[in-house]
């Protein structure tokens, strides 16, 4: 990962403080330890910074960002990686486009110059967040990838707009207000965020699959947001019923192999996290199949046998010829690094998973690896967790009698008693606002909604009073697109809500 940041002043005649941009890059040096850059268009009152983790094109003098076109018209900073960039680069080169670097990031700059942002976005595949300023249009664009793998925060100050890859990047700017909101605190304690929000006043996230456009008109900045992509599950009447189970298996295998192959493209070694689950084992198996040498497999082991999956992971590593690296952790180590983990997550966490992931990431870095592949989110995308099965049994099996559906649901509750109150709510929670938009209250949200009545007692009196009539379910429901839920299967609805809330707000923020 890299880190980006920047300032877009409302008054183009105001002098931009380059030291501020240096400070914004320095505070996220952990994201990009291989170098940093600052670039400004002084006459336009705009400047970007970049902290680099070099993965593609290791030549620092050549691939250093931010990128500024020769005519000083387009400024760009990019965090993340564009997959399939080689094909796009070759195609553009054949059309006469000349590249200055071997970096995957440069394809964005050249595509934008050639065809504009709207035509460029569908071609970008990967995990990314970028900023792009067009001097001719006097406009700044902030863009985030389709699922929100890479973060992008922004806020307005009296002087203009400030953005960055982390909250601390924004707070490195003295004009950015540092104040909690009552609603933000509520959702931090409830552990489920409203899409696009943070715990801080005036500080927002660019939502996944969105473009934030900041247009300067005179000495004012006008902000608008649009969707360039959304999860589009097929409607019930659009499903292809001719596909067999074998067809689905073949399609998943082909798509997963293609995804792994693309992520193996790097100028540095690529490893895998290996937990022993189906997801990470599948990825390691495919990575080993396409790699010319042994793949490094990183495994977390625990001193409590109830949570330790290293025996299964060791079997998989041996079967694939991987080079396994096991890091063992005790409870004291996990709790001893909680504060440092919170500094990185920039939000509350409810267990030590984030601590374990932080310690493993640190270990991976210490053995000179920069890139690892994981299987985060796969259990949910394939409906493997109890919450999705529950919604399918209760709301997605219309061809079964009601009594049979209830019998399946009761069996599910019994079999998952260990996770009752966590993955499954102890008692049914029905939120009227979510019911109105989704058709039911998704089970993935119910454990957290069940915590909502407990939150006010944890808040100061001033916040408690302001939240007297607050409905967290309504706040979440208001951010969902009803058109993407209408006419869909119950399981697809549940997964859509999970993607918009728990995937972006938990797994991609601190759980992965």
The answer to the question of residue 25 being in a domain is yes
Query: Count of domains in the chain?
Result: 3
202 lies in the same domain as 275? no
Domain range holding 494?
A: 384-511
Q: Where does the pLDDT of residue 44 fall: very low under 50, low under 70, confident under 90, or very high at 90 and above?
A: very high
The residue among 304, 294, 298 whose CA lies nearest residue 280 is 298
- Read off the CATH number of the domain in which 159 is found: 3.60.20.10
Residue with tokens 């967290």: 472
Instruction: Return the pLDDT at 224.
Output: 98
Classify residue 210: in a domain, yes or no: yes
- Cα–Cα distance, 55 to 63 (Å, whole number): 10
Each residue of 323-373: pLDDT tens digit? 999 999 988 888 899 999 999 999 999 888 899 999 999 999 999 999 999
Q: What are phi and psi of 388, to 5 degrees?
A: -75, -40
Residues 278 and 215 occupy one common structural domain: no
| Local confidence band at 400 (pLDDT 50, 70, 90 cut-offs) | confident
β-strand partners of 481: none
Distance CA 263, CA 150 (A): 15
> In whole numbers, what is the pLDDT of the chain averaged over residues?
92
Same domain, 423 and 493: yes
**Residue 59 and residue 35 in contact, taking contact as beta carbons nearer than 8 Å:** no
Q: Does some domain include residue 68?
A: yes
Q: Residue 417: its pLDDT value, please?
A: 67
pLDDT of residue 512: 61
Regarding whether 198 and 64 lie in a shared domain, the answer is: yes
| Nearest Cα residue to 82 out of 59, 112, 39, 62 | 112
Of 95-99, 334-338, 465-469, minimum mean pLDDT range: 334-338
Q: Is residue 379 domain-resident?
A: no
**404, part of any domain:** yes
CA-CA distance, 268 to 251, in Å (whole number)? 30
pLDDT in tens, 168-195: 999 999 999 999 999 999 999 999 999 9
Does pTM top 0.75 for this prediction?
yes
Pairwise CA distance, residues 124 & 121, whole Å: 5
Please tell me which residue, 370 or 46, carries the higher pLDDT value.
46
> CB-based burial of residue 427 (10 Å sphere; 0-12 exposed, 13-18 middle, 19+ buried)?
exposed
- Domain-ending residue, one of 373, 397, 429: 373
């Amino acid at each position: 990962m890299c880190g980006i940041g920047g300032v877009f002043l409302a008054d183009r005649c105001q002098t931009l403080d380059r030291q501020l941009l240096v400070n914004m890059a320095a505070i996220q040096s952990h994201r990009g330890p291989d170098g940093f850059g600052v670039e400004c268009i002084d006459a336009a009152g705009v400047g970007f910074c970049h902290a680099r983790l070099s993965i593609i094109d290791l030549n620092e003098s050549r691939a250093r960002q931010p990128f500024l076109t020769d005519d000083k018209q387009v400024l760009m900073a990019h965090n993340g990686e564009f997959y399939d960039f080689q094909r796009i680069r070759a195609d553009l080169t054949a059309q006469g486009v000349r590249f200055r670097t071997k970096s995957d990031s440069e394809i964005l700059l050249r595509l934008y110059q050639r065809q504009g942002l709207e035509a460029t976005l569908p071609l970008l595949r990967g995990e990314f967040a970028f900023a792009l300023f067009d001097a001719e249009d006097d406009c700044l664009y902030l863009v985030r990838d389709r699922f929100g793998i890479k973060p992008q925060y922004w806020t307005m100050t009296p002087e203009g707009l400030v953005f960055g890859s982390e909250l601390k990047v924004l707070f490195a700017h003295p004009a950015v207000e540092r104040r909690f909101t009552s609603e933000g605190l509520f959702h931090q304690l409830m552990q489920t965020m409203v899409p696009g929000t943070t715990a801080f006043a005036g500080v927002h996230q660019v939502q996944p699959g969105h473009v934030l456009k900041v247009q300067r008109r005179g000495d004012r900045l006008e902000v608008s947001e649009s969707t360039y992509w959304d999860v589009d599950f097929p409607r019930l009447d659009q499903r292809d019923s001719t596909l067999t189970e074998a067809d689905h298996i073949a399609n998943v295998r082909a798509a997963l192999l293609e995804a792994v192959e693309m992520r193996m493209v790097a100028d540095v070694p690529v490893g895998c996290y290996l937990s022993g689950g189906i997801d990470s084992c599948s990825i390691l198996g495919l990575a080993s199949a396409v790699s010319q040498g042994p793949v490094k497999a990183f495994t977390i082991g625990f001193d409590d046998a109830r949570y330790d999956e290293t025996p299964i992971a060791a079997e998989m590593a041996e079967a694939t010829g991987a080079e396994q690296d096991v890091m063992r952790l005790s409870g004291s180590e996990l709790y001893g690094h909680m504060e440092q983990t919170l500094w990185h997550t920039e939000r509350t966490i409810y267990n030590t998973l984030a601590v374990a992931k932080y310690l493993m990431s640190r270990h991976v870095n210490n053995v000179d690896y920069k890139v690892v592949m994981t299987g985060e989110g796969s259990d949910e995308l394939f409906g493997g967790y109890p919450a999705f099965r529950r919604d399918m049994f209760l709301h997605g099996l219309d061809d079964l009698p009601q009594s049979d559906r209830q019998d399946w649901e009761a069996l599910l509750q019994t079999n998952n008693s260990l996770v009752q109150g966590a993955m499954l709510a102890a008692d049914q929670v029905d939120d009227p606002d979510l019911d109105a938009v989704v058709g039911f209250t998704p089970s993935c949200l119910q454990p957290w909604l069940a915590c909502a009545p407990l939150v006010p007692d944890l808040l100061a009196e001033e916040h408690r009073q302001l939240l007297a009539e607050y409905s967290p379910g309504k706040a979440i429901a208001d951010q969902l697109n009803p058109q993407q839920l209408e006419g869909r299967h119950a399981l697809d609805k549940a997964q859509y809500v999970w993607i918009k809330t728990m995937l972006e707000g938990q797994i991609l923020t601190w759980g992965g």
